Structure 1
Amino acid sequence: MAFPAGTPTVTLVGTIPSAVAGTPFKGKLVCKPSAYLVDAGRNAVYPGGGSVTFDSNGSFSVVLLPCDAAGVEPVGWRWYLDLQPSGGTRVAFYANITGTGTVHFDDLAPVPAPGGGPSSGSAVTSVNGETGAVVLSAADVGADVAGAASATVAAHAAASDPHGDRAAAAAALAAHEADTTLVHGIADTAVLETQSGAQAKADTAGVAAISAAASDATAKVAAHSAASDPHGDRVAAASALAAHEADTTAVHGIADTSALETSTGAAAKVTAHKDALDPHGDRAWADGKFATQAALSTVDGYVNNALTRVTAIEQGTAWLSGLQVAGNAVVSAGDLTVSDTSKGYRFRRGGSALDFEATGADMILSNWSGTGFNGTQHAYLRLSADAQNVQVAGKIEFVDALYGATKHTLDPSTGVAALGAKNGLTSIRLCGRRASAGSPTTGAWAAGDAVQDSAGTWWLCTADGTPGTWTSPPATPTAHASTHVSGGTDPITVAQSQVTGLTAALAALLPLTGGTMTGTLTNNVASGTTPAFGGGVSGDTFDRWRVLANGTLELGPGNAARDTNLRRSAANELTTDDALIVSLMFRHLGTTAGFYGATAVTKPSVTGSRGGNAALASLLTALATLGLITDSTTA
C-alpha cells in the first residue's frame, strides 16, 4: 500500500557484501520509528515499522517517511535501524533520515535515542565488572590468547630436534663405536686381528721358520707361504665378521639394532611429524577443554545480540511478543499505549492534563460481572471515533460522593429525568412533552411527574394513578414592550430624579472628562472589519484613528478619509500598505532581509580578489540578491 497522497518520502538503499571475496550477505534490515506517528493533515497514523530482505546481490531499497516530514507528530522522532546479515555482525542504531530523494545506508551516522531511556530499571549493567561497550578477552572466558596455539605449533615445527630423538640416536651410535668389551659376544675386541695384521704376522713367522729350519724346511715354508690360509685364520675372521654383521641383538649394548633409524629415515619421520596437523593430539585435547576461536566468535555474536536487545528494552524501542507483570508496574516519564495496526488506546501524561485516548475505533467503557473478564458485560459509555458524540447506556445517578444518596437520576428505561434536591426538597421528575394540550389521560403516572403539553403549559402529577391526578400553575399574562411606550396602554414614565441618578452612576463608572479607568475594556463587534475603537479632535469630520476588530490600525488627517494603516498580515508579521519613514535610527535585528520585493535572504558574503573583477562580480550578485540593485552588467 502506498503512502497517502502528498506524503513526503525518502528512499534508503544499501549493499551488504562480505569483506572476503565480496560475497553478498543474506538477511534483512528492520526499520522502526521511535514513536507512534500521527499525520493529521493526511489522515494517517504510523504505529510501527517493518523490514526489507536483501536481494541476491546483497542489496536492499526501501521507501521511508523522513524524520522531518511536515505535519507528522511528534517532532524529533528518529528511525531505529537493525541490520541483521545472516552469519555477519548485527548492527543497530538510531538515525535521523531527512529530506527526499535517495539516502545510502553507509552515509548514516548514529544519533542519540530521542528522549533518552527510562530513569530506572533492572536491566544488565555490567559484564565481568565492565560497563558500556564490553569486549570479552580470552582470559575472561578461560581460553588461550588468540594465536597462542598456532605460535606453539610453528615453534615445534621449526625446532631441529623437538623430541630429542636425533640427539639420542647420535649418542647411542657414538657409544657403540667406542665400546670394546662384550661386543657381539667377544670379551675383548682389542685382541682381534685384522686380515692385514694377521698376514704380516704370518709372513714374519714364515721368515723365522725358514731361518730356523734352513734347507730342510724350505719346501714346507714355501708351501706355507704359498697357502692362502695355512692356519684357517682368514676363514675364522671372515666367519666372525659375517656373524657380527648379521647380528641384530645385544650389539654394543643395544637390544635390537633393527629398531635404529637411519639419518634419512629419521629426517623423513621428523618432517612427517612437523607437517602433521595434530601429531600429539594437543589441538584435539585443547578443543575439548577450551572454546575455539569460531565458538568464541559465535558467543560474541550472542552477547552482542543480547546487549542490543537489552539496549532496545532500556530505550523503549523493543517490541515484545507479550508481557506479564506480577506486582506493580510503573511507566516513568512516558505514555502507556496499547495498539495494533488499526486501533488502540493510550494513557498520555504529556501536556497540562492527563488524557485517556483512543484511536481507530469507538471507545466503549464497560464492566464485567465476573472476576476474569467473564459473566455479563455491562457497557455504559460509547465515545464515537467518527464524530464528537457520546452515548450513555443505563441509568445515571448523581451523588455527593460515591455510594452516597442519589440527588439526580437520568433513567432511559423509564424516560424520566429526576432533578433537584436542594434543602431536602423532592426531585422534579421530568417526563417529556405531550403532542396535544392538557394533562395526560392514559398510562400510569407517579406523584412528582412533570409534563409539558403542546401549548407550553406545565402539568404536575400530585397523586399516583392511571392517569393520576394533575394540576398546572395559573396562566401569567405576557407583557409586550409596545404597551409601555408613550401612548401605549401602560406607558412608563421616568422622573427627572431618576435620570439624574443614572447620570451620576454612569459618571462614577466612566468619567466624562479626566479620571482613570482600571481593568480591561472590551468591545465585541459583528466582524473583523468593524471599528472597535476610534477618536479624533473636536470638529473633525473623520476619525483621526480607528482600531478595527481584527487589530488593523487606520490613521488619517481628520478632515479626510483615513489613508494609512498598520496590520497583522501573518504570524509574527506586521504590514503597512503605505510609506514608512524613520527619522532617527533603523536597526534590523533579524537574520534575513530583502528590498524592492525581493525574497528575504541571509546576509550574503562578498568573495573574490579585490585586485580583479571577481570581487566586483560577487558584490553585484550580493546587492542584486538583497534587491538593492538590478544587475544589468555584462561580463
Structure 2
Amino acid sequence: MPLPTTRVVTGHYVNPATGANATGRVVLTPYPGVWTDETHDQVLTGGGTFTLVDGAFEQALVTTDAAGVEPATGRLWILEERIAGRPYRRRPFALDAGVDSIDVTDLVDADPAEVTYVRGPEGPAGEQGLAGPQPPLGAAGAGANIALRSTDPTTTDARTPTAHAASHGTGSTDPVTPAAIGAETPAAAQAKADGAQAAAASALSAHAAASDPHGDRAWATGQFYPLASGNALNGYVDDALLRIADLETRMTNAEAETRSIAKTADEPITNNTLQDDNELLLSVVAHGWYEVAMYIDTEGDPAADLTMGWSVPAGAALSWTESGVSAGNTNNIGSIKLQRNDAATASGVGIIAAGSVVLARGVLRVGATAGTLQFRWAQTSTNATPTIVKTGSLLKLTRVA
C-alpha cells in the first residue's frame, strides 16, 4: 500500500578534528509515536535505525505536512544521533513536502563542538519571474489605481501629530473610559480588595484560634532532610549524576563497538567467479581490530557448493575460517571444515538444496587505511541451478581494540 507524501532526508557526519567520516547510527522516530493515514486506511508506527555508511545516511520519510494524516498538526520527526565517541543527542524537526531531497543541516541546528555536518552544493537558481503591471503615476490625491510620485507631499511631509493628550482626559471632548479599554472601575476594584481583606482576616483568626496551629511540624521533621545536617546531600546527588553520565557515555560507546548488517533479499549466483555480496558489508576505522562473525543461510545444488572470500582495506590483515561441512556433501552430515585462511584466500564448503548453514568467523586487523569489510562469494563449480545466500544472513563486527 502506498505511503503519504514522502521526502528524502540525508546527512553526513565527519570528525571536525580529522575530517574522517564518523561511525555510528541515527534513529528516526515519528512524534507522536502513531500517525493515522486516513487516505490509505493504514496506521503509521515506529521509525527506523540507520547505520552510517562512510559517515552518511539517506532515508525517505513521510512529511509532517502530508495531507490526510492525523494528527493534522503538531507532527514532528525526532532525530537521535548515536555517533561513536560523541555524546548522545536528540532533536526534533519538521519535514515539509518538497521534490528535492533535503539535508539534515537544513532541518536542525548543528552543535559546532560536536561532530559536524557536511552540506552539499546549492542547486541552480530558479528563473526570474515576470514583472507585474505597474499603475500609472499621478499627482497628489490621485485615485486608488494611481501610483504616487516620490515627490508627492504626502510621502515627504513627516506630519508629526500635534499634542492632544488632554482631549482624552475625563470631561474632555474625547475621554477614554475604563470600559473602552477593558479596565476595572474604581468601585469594582475597591469591592474586590475589601472582599480579599475580609477573607484573609477570617482565615488568620481561624488559624490563631486553633489549639495547635503548627502541629504539622512534628510530621515534617520525620519526612524531610533537616537543614541542620548541612549540605552533605548535595555531594551525594552530584556523585550520582556523575555516575549516571558516565554510564550513559559507556552505553553509547558500547553500542558503537558492535555493528551488524543483515540481508533483506535472497541473492542467487550461477557462476564460479567471486563477486561482492549485494548487502553484507560494514565500514571499519584505521588501526581498529575487529571480531568477525557471520551466519550464512544458503542453498543450492550439491554439485555447485559455495566458495567464500573477502575484500578488506589496503594494509589490513584478516585471519578467518569457513566453519562448514566439507565440499561435495549431500546431506549436511560430514566433516566440519575449519581451515585457517587469510584475506587473499577463498575457500569452499558443501551445501545442499534443502538448505545449509555456514558460520564463518575471524579477526580483522586494520592498518593505517580505513575502509570496508566486504563479503564475497560464488559457486565452487558453475551450475545452472543457482546457489543462493538467503534473506536473514548476517554479518556482525565487534571492535576489540
TM over 0.5: no
Flag the structure with larger Rg: 1
The structure that is strand-richer by fraction is 2
Q: In which range does the TM-score fall when normalised by the shorter chain?
A: under 0.3
The structure that is helix-richer by fraction is 1
What TM-score, normalized by structure 2, do the two folds share?
0.27
Higher RCO, Cα 8 Å, sep 6+: 2
